[in-house]
Amino acid sequence: MKQFHAIVSGRVQGVCFRAETAAAAQRLGLRGFVRNLADGTVEVRAAGPAADIEQFLVYLHRGPRIARVDDVRLDWTARPPLPEGFEVRR
C-alpha cells in the first residue's frame, strides 16, 4: 500500500479537474480526496496498491483534456488515515 499527498498546479480549477480526478481514483479503487485550494492549485491525497498509485500519478500529470497541468509536487510522507473510497471536498 502506497500513499501520497500532491499539489497540482496549472489550469486545474474550473475545468472539471476534481470530478475527473475522483472518477479516475474510483476506477482504480483508491482511497482519498481531491479539493481546490485558495491559491488556484488542487490538493490530492490518495492511497492504494503501488501499481494503481503509479497509474493514478500518470493521470495526475496529464489531467482532464481541458486542463493544463504545469506541476505536480509529491510528498510520500505517511499521513493520517484516509476516508473509505475517494471523495471530492470543497
Q: Which of 50, 45, 74 is nearest to 61 (CA)?
A: 74
**Is 18 part of the annotated catalytic residue set?**
yes
Matching residue, cell 500513499: 3
Verify whether residue 35 is a known catalytic residue: no
**Which segments of 1-90 are extended strands (E)?**
2-11, 31-36, 42-48, 68-75, 86-89
Catalytic residue among 36, 68, 73, 89: 36
Catalytic entry in 18, 65, 79, 89: 18
Residues labelled catalytic: 18, 36
